[in-house]
Amino acid sequence: MVASSSPLQAILKLLLKWWWLILLSTAVGLGVGAFVRSQQPDIYFATATILFGQNFERGTDTQGFNTSLNRIRDLITIYSGITRRPIILDPVIRDLNLGTSVEELNRVMNVTQAKDLPIMEITIADTRPDRAANIANRIAQEVIAQSPTEQVSAETEFRRQQLRDLQRQIEELKGQYDSKFAAGANLTSAFEIAQNLQERNAILENIRNLQQIYAELANGLPDQSNSLRIFELARPDSVPYTTGSTVSVILSGVAGLALSIITVVLIGYFDKRLQWNESLTTVAGVKVLGPLGVIPRDKLPLYLISMPDAIESEVLRQLRAKLVLAAGGKIPRVIGITSYDSGDGKTITAANLGLSFAQAGLETLIIDGDLRKGDLHEMFRLPNVMGLSDILAGHGSFETLLEQALLDSGFDRLTILPCGRSNADSAALFSSSRFPKLIDALKNRFDVIVMDTVPAIGGPDSAFVAEVSDGMIIVVDSRRTTDKALNRVLQTLHQANNASIFGLAFNRVQLQVTSTHSQPYYRRTLSLSPERLNREVLNAGKRQPLLRFNRHVLMDKNGERLYSLRACAIHLGITEDTVREWIKIGYLNTIRKGRRRWIRESDIELMLNRLPRFRAGHRPLLDDNANADHRPASGASIPDMLRDQRDALLDYVREPLPSAPSAESDPGADE
C-alpha cells in the first residue's frame, strides 16, 4: 500500500516491481506460439474448375447463355451435392490410394460456384501441394465421367463440323455479295448492270439456302447447355496457407504480455500488504521512519557486529538518528518496539538498536518485555534465570532484584534485562503500579532504555509499555504485514493514555534496489584497511617475495620503514591526492624503488613535527563563557582563519629543511 501515490503511479510501480513476471509471461507466450506453429504444417489449396455449357465455352452462341444461367446455377447446386457422394469419391480414393474415408475427404474438400459464371470450383486442402492438385483434378474428372451429358456421339460431332463449314461458306458468300454490290456502283452500261444484279441475286439465293440448311442442322443438335468440361486443371504450385503463422506467434506473445499485466494489476489490487516506497512519508497517519534491510541468516542476530559496514547496519544507525529527531532533538529515554505478529523482526530490531545506542557512548538497557515468548537473552547467549516478570511479580526492593536480574551483554555500555520466568499473567504485571516505578528507577541508571514488547496479536501488553515510553516504534514486515494488521496495532496502542508513536520501520526491504539507501553515505571502503597497514608495519622487515607487488610498507637496509603513497595516506588519515599535492610542493620527499615511489618514515615524522600547533602566548581558545574582547576582530570569519592557517603552513614548508640522506640512495639490498 502506497498512500502517497496516485493509482497510475501505483500501477507503474507494480509493473516495475513485477517486470520479470511480465517478461517471463511474454517469453512463454512467444515460446508456446512458436511451438504450436512448428507442430502445425503448412496447408496447400488446389482448385479444379468445371465449365457448364459447351456453347459458352465455344463462344459461338452466347444468346442463350443469359436465358439459361439460372438453370445452370441450379445444375451446379445439384452437382455440388453429387460431388460429395461416395459414387464420386470412392473411385478417387481407390485410384489415388489415399487411405482415407469419404467423410474425411469431404472435410478437406470445398465445392463452390464462381460468381456470375457457369463454373463449379472443387478445392482440396492438403499438406502436400501435388497431392492436393491430383485429388482435385481426379474428382473433377470423375464428376464429368458420371455426368449423363459427358459422351458426345460422332453424329453430333459431324453435325457440328457441318455447321462450322456452312457458317464459313455463308461468310464467304456475304463477302462476294458485298464485292458485287460495290462494283455495281461504278457500272454504266445496262448489260453490265443487269449481269451484276443477276449475280448478286444468285449469291443471295445461295446464302438463303445455306442458312436454311444451317438452321435445320442446328435444330437437330441436342441441348449442350448442361454439358460439363474441365475448364482449368488444378496446379501443384499453389501458395501455402500457414496455419501457425508468424502473426499468430506474435499474438501469442501479446496475449502473454496482456495476461501478465492483468495479473500484476490484480495482484496489486488484492494485495493489501504494506509496501515500502522511498516517497512514502506517512501510512494511516503514522510517520514512516525508514527501511530496515534483509539480513542474511548467517549474520543474525547481532548484524551490527557481524556486518558493521553493510548497508543494513547503516540504515539502523540512521533509524537511531531519526528517533532523536522525532523526540524533538533530544535522545529518547525509553523506546518501545512492537509489531503485529511474531516473526516481523521487532526483537532483532530492538537488540541491534540498543547496541547502536551503546556504540554511540550511551549507557543502554535492553528489556525483553515479551513475557510470553521472550528470547532476547538467546541473542546475547545469556541465561534467563531471573528477569522482568520476576521483578514485577516480586515484592522486594528494586535494588536487590535488579542486582540479580541485570546481565552484562558482553558489549561496552550495554545491559540486558531478560523476560524472566514468572508464570503470572503478563497483562496483570504490566498494569500493576510496580511497572512504571521500575521504569523510573531504571531511567536513573541508564541513558537509553529499549524495550521489546509482545506483538499486538498476542495481547494488550504493548499498550502498557506505550504509557511509560517516550515513543513506540512499529516494525512492519514489508512481505506480509497488511493495512488491517497495522490498524490492529494502532488500536492496541491507542488504548494507552497519552501514547506516543515515533513511526513505522519497514523491515526486510531490499535496500540495493533503492536509490536513497544504495550506499552508506558516511562510510568509505578503503582498498588498504588500517588493520592491514598495521600488519604490514609489523612485518616490514620480513621477506615476502610473493607479496612484493602488493606490499605497502618495506624496510630499507638501514632498518627504516618505507611507506607507499597509499600507506602514507592511510597513516595520516588523508587521501592519496593530498599526499601527491604535498609531494609536489615539497612538503614530503620521496625516493624511487623500482617503479614505485616511497616515503621514509622519518620524513613523515618530520612533517608531523613541523605542523603549526597552538602555543602559549597565542590567542586563547574561545568557549561559551569567553569574554567578548577575546573574540576575533569584526569581519573575521572561519574561512579567513583557515586561510591564515594554510598560509602559515606553507611558510613552514618554504623554510630550509635539515639535511637528509639523498633521495637516490638505495633503501636496502634485501628487497
CA distance 301 to 352: 8
* Cβ 144 vs Cβ 229: under 8 Å: yes
When pLDDT is cut at 50, 70 and 90, the band that residue 212 belongs to is confident
Nearest-5° angle of CA 620, CA 624, CA 629?
Answer: 50
Dihedral Cα 168, 172, 174, 178, nearest 10 deg: 160
Count of helix runs (H) and strand runs (E) in the chain: 25, 18
**pLDDT tens-digit readout, 374-393:** 899 999 999 998 999 999 99
Residues 6+ apart with CB under 8 A from 275: 1, 2, 478
Question: β-pairing, 334-339 with 448-452?
Answer: parallel
The pTM of this model reads 0.52
Cα(303)–Cα(508) distance, rounded to whole angstroms?
13
pLDDT at 550 over 90: no
Q: Per the structure block, which three cell numbers stand in for 326?
A: 522525532
Distances (CA, A) of 408 to 351, 377, 405, 565, 668: 14, 11, 10, 44, 52
| Between residues 298 and 241, the one the model is more confident about | 298
Instruction: Cell numbers for 554, please give them.
Output: 618495506
- pLDDT band (50, 70, 90) for residue 145: confident
For helices 63-83 and 86-96, give the axis angle rounded to 10 degrees. Answer: 70
pLDDT at 625: 46
The answer to whether 258 and 21 have CB atoms below 8 angstroms apart is: no
Strand extents, DSSP E, 257-333:
282-283, 286-293
Split at pLDDT 50, 70, 90, the class of 58 is: very low
Of the two residues 565 and 544, the one the predictor is more confident about is 565
Within 10 Å of residue 297's Cβ, how many Cβ atoms? Answer: 6
Instruction: Rank 414-418, 492-496, 570-574 by mean pLDDT and report only the highest.
Output: 414-418
C-alpha cell at 240: 501455402
| Rounded Cα–Cα distance for residues 523 and 540 (Å) | 29
- Summarize pLDDT for 74-132 with one digit per residue, the tens: 888 888 889 999 999 999 999 999 889 999 999 999 999 888 788 899 999 988 888 99
Q: How far apart are CA 531 and CA 148, in angstroms?
A: 110
Mean pLDDT (the chain) is: 80
Q: What residue spans define the domains of the chain?
A: 7-40+244-270, 43-145, 154-223, 288-510, 530-613+635-654
**pLDDT for residue 205 is more than 70:** yes
pLDDT at res. 646: 56
Quick check: 456 and 338 in contact, CB under 8 A? yes
- Given a cut of 70, whether residue 654 has pLDDT beyond it is no
Each residue's pLDDT tens digit, 587-642: 888 998 878 889 998 988 888 887 655 554 444 444 444 444 444 444 444 445 45
Q: What is the mean pLDDT of residues 43-58?
A: 74
**156-172 pLDDT, tens per residue?**
667 778 878 888 888 88
Question: For residues 174 and 234, what is the distance between their CA atoms, to the nearest angstrom?
Answer: 43
Take residue 114 and report the three cell numbers written for it: 464462381
Please state whether the peptide bond connecting residue 301 to the residue before it is cis, i.e. omega within 30 degrees of 0: yes
CATH code at 288-510:
3.40.50.300
> What one-character DSSP code corresponds to residue 513?
G
Instruction: Using only the alpha carbons of the chain, give its radius of gyration.
Output: 53
State pLDDT tens for residues 213-262. Answer: 877 777 765 555 457 788 888 888 766 665 556 777 788 888 888 888 88
Q: Does pLDDT of 503 surpass 80?
A: yes
Q: What is the pLDDT of residue 137?
A: 92
Asked if residue 372 lies in contact with residue 459, where contact means CB atoms within 8 angstroms, the answer is: yes
Average pLDDT over residues 466-495: 92
Nearest one of 518, 514, 467 to 492, comparing CA atoms? 467
